[in-house]
A and B are shown apart, each in its own frame.
Chain A
C-alpha cells in the first residue's frame, strides 16, 4: 500500500520552497558573470593600484619595487601641471553641466510638446551618443579646422577663417563643450522626457483653472516633480565632464599652448589626459596612480555633495 500523502509536511523538492531556492540560484547565476568581471577588472586592480601609489612602481623590468610612502602624493600637489589641469577641468565641467542640461531640457520640452515629427527628433537627438568619442573628436576637428573657416570665408566672415576655434585655449574649451553637448544632450534628454511625462496632467490642469499662468505652473509644479531627474542628470553630467578623455585627446590633443605661472604649457589638457601623460610621457607611473586616486576621491566627494543637495529638493507625489 502506498504511504498516504501528508499534506502538512513540506517537501523541499516541490512547491514554494523549491521555487524560492531556484529563484535565488537563478538570481546569483545571472548576476555572477557581471559581478565576477567587475571584481576582476575594477575592484582588484583598484586595490592593487592603491598599494602601487605608495611605491616606485614603473611597470617596466625594474629590479625591485620599493615603498616610498606619501612621496607620490606630495609631489602631485606640487606639480603645477596637475594644478592647471584641475583648474581647467573644473571650468570645463561647470560650462559643460550647464550646456548639456539646458540643451537637453529644452529638447525634452520640445519633445513632450505637441510638435509634429516628435519621434524622428527623439531618435535623431539620441544618435550622436552612439558615435564613439574618438571618432567624434576627429570629425569635429575637421569641422572646426577646415569646414567652418572655408564656409565663413565663402560668406564673408573673414574673422572665422583666420581665427580658428581650436587655435586659442578659451575657444578650444568652448569647442570641447560644443562637441560634448552634441554627443551627450540626447541621452540626458531621454531622462528628462521620462520625468516630464510623469508630471500628472490633471495637476497642471487644476492649476491652470485656478489661474496660474505658464511660468507659475512650470516653476511650482513641473520643476519640483522633475527634481529626481535633475539629481540623476546632474550626477551623470558632473562625473562624465570630470572624466572627459576621448574627445579631449582627439579634438584638441591637449590643446593649443598657453602660459601658466610664466611657463608655456599645453592649454586644454584635462585631468584624465594629464594623468595619462604622467604615466606615458613623464614615465612616472606610480605618481600617475597617486593622481588617479586623488581624482577618484574628488569625483566621489563632488558627486555625494551634489546628490545630497538635490535629493533634499525632490518632491514625492
Chain B
C-alpha cells in the first residue's frame, strides 16, 4: 500500500511538470496526394516552421499504396480530419462539401484562373498545372525525317506511325508507341485517353460532348474516329507492355529510346531526369480534323477544413506558398510542378513541363473532363473494355458497341 502511494505521487509530480513544460503551439495538418514529391513537401514544412513559427505536419497519400479517399474517411471517422486536403473533382467535393471553407476572398485567388469554383464560390487552391499529349522523342523523329507539327490529326499520325514502324531496326526501337492498357494501368486508357473523346478539339470548358454522353446520347461519328485512334495506338505499341506492363516498364521503354512516343503526362519528368534526348508534347490525333492543343488542368485542388482549430493560420499558409520565395521554390524547383499562379516567374526544369508551359502560353489547351464520370465507371466499366480491345479479344466494332452500351447503362 505504501509503495502504491509513493508511485502515485511520483506520477502526479511528473504529470504536472510536463504540463508546465508544454506551450500552446499552432499545428496545422496538410495532406497531399503526390507521394513522388514527399521529400520536397517535408522540406517545405520545415522551412515554413523556421520562417513563421507555425508547425506544419504534412503527410502524403496517393499512388498504389494509399487510397486518398479511404484515408480521408478514416481521418474523419477518427476526428483527425486534416486542415488542408486535396479534391480532384465534383464527386470528392460532394463528399466533403459540408466541411469545406469558402476561400473567395483570399489574396491568391486573383493570381490564378484555374481555382476550383462551386456555385460562384472559390473553394479550391490549384495544386499545380499538369498536362499530357503524345510525348515524342525529337531526336528519333528528326532521324526519321518526320516534322512534329504534322502530328495533330489522325491522318498525320497514321503516316508517321507507318513510316516509323518501317524503320524500327534503323532507329533501334522495339515499337513506335509505349502504351499500356492492363488492369493496374487502366488510368492511362480509361481516364486520360478517354478524355480525348470528351474534349479534344473543343473549346476549353466546353462540356457538350461530356453532357451528351452522361445523358446516354452517343455521337457515333465522333466515337468511331476516337475508336480508330485507340486502335492505332494499340496496334503500334509493344504488346507485352500494352497488356501487362506497369508504369516503370512503360516510361522505361521511352527513356531507353525503345519507343518514339509515350502516352503519359508531364509528371513523368521526375522519371526522365537521365534522358539524353530532346522531347516535347504533340496533340492527340483522335479526330479526322486537326486538333492543335494538349490537355491541361490542375490535377487536384487543396480545400480547407472550415472546422479547423486554426483557420486563419491555414489560410495564411496557402497565401504564403504563392507569395514567398521559399513557397515558390518548393512548388517549382523542388517539386518540379508547373505553377498555376501568374505572379510566379520560376520555370520547372523538366522538358515535358516546359513543353506544357509553351502550349499554355500559346493558348492551345483542351480541358480535362474525365472527372465528370465516376471513378467506378472509368476504372471498372470502361477500363476492362479497353483491356479486352488491347488483348484483341474484341474487334473495333465490338469495342464501339460496348462503349456505347456502357454510356447508355450509365445514363443519369
Which A residues lie at the B interface, using CB under 8 A? 58-63, 81, 145, 149, 162, 164, 166-167, 252-259, 263-266, 277, 279-283, 285
Contacts and interface: CB of A to CB of B under 8 A. Distances in A.
Contacts of A162: 239
Interface residues of B, number: 38
A81 B381 CA distance: 11
A280 B182 contact: no
A118 B198 CA distance: 64
A164 B96 contact: no
B384 interface: yes
Given A166-B244, A252-B183, A253-B184, A63 B98 contact: yes
A147 B36 CA distance: 28
Nearest to A62: B98
Interface string B97-112: 1110000000000000
Contacts of B42: none
Contact of A256 (B96, B183, B405): B183
Nearest to A142: B246
A61 B69 contact: no
B387 A264 contact: yes
A61 B79 CA distance: 11
Given A58-B95, A61-B76, A264-B388, A277 B380 contact: yes
Interface residues of B, dominant DSSP: helix
B183 A257 contact: yes
A297 B188 CA distance: 38
Contacts of B351: none
B243 A164 contact: yes
B83 to A, nearest CB: 14
A313 B230 CA distance: 59
B380 A167 contact: no
B67 interface: yes
A288 to B, nearest CB: 11
B75 to A, nearest CB: 10
A281 B96 CA distance: 16
B345 interface: no
A281 B70 CA distance: 9
A280 B244 contact: no
Contacts of B244: 145, 164, 166-167
A62 B99 CA distance: 10
Closest 6 CB pairs of A and B: A257-B384, A59-B73, A264-B384, A257-B387, A253-B184, A60-B95
A167 B97 contact: no
A283 B69 contact: yes
B59 interface: no
Nearest to A268: B183
Interface in B225-272: 239-240, 243-244
Contacts of A257: 183, 383-385, 387-388, 391
B240 to A, nearest CB: 7
Contacts of A164: 240, 243-244
A255 to B, nearest CB: 6
B91 interface: yes
Contacts of A259: 388, 393
Contacts of A281: 375-376, 379-380
B88 to A, nearest CB: 13
B319 interface: no
8 contacts: A60-B76, A60-B95, A145-B244, A167-B244, A256-B391, A266-B384, A280-B67, A283-B375
Interface residues of A, dominant DSSP: mixed
Given A145-B244, A265-B384, A277-B380, 19 more contacts: A58-B73, A59-B74, A59-B77, A61-B99, A162-B239, A167-B244, A252-B183, A256-B183, A257-B183, A257-B384, A258-B384, A263-B406, A264-B381, A264-B384, A266-B380, A282-B380, A283-B91, A283-B95, A283-B374
B70 A266 contact: no
Interface of B: 67, 69-70, 72-74, 76-77, 91, 95-99, 182-184, 239-240, 243-244, 374-376, 379-381, 383-385, 387-388, 391, 393-394, 402, 405-406
B95 A266 contact: no
Contacts of A256: 182-183, 243, 387, 391
Among B67, B69, B376, B380, find the residue whose CB has the most chain A CB atoms closer than 10 A.
Answer: B380
Contacts of A81: 380
A13 to B, nearest CB: 15
Contacts of B184: 253
Contact of B183 (A59, A60, A145, A253): A253
Nearest to A265: B384
Contacts of B388: 257-259, 264
A254 B383 CA distance: 12
A166 B185 CA distance: 14
A280 B387 contact: no
Contacts of A280: 67, 69-70
B243 A266 contact: no
A61 B183 contact: no
B379 A60 contact: no
A258 B406 CA distance: 15
Contacts of B67: 280
Contacts of A167: 243-244, 391
A91 B96 CA distance: 40
A264 B398 CA distance: 11
Contacts of B97: 61
Contact of A254 (B69, B74, B183, B394): B183
Contacts of A258: 384, 388
Nearest to B183: A253
Contacts of A59: 73-74, 76-77
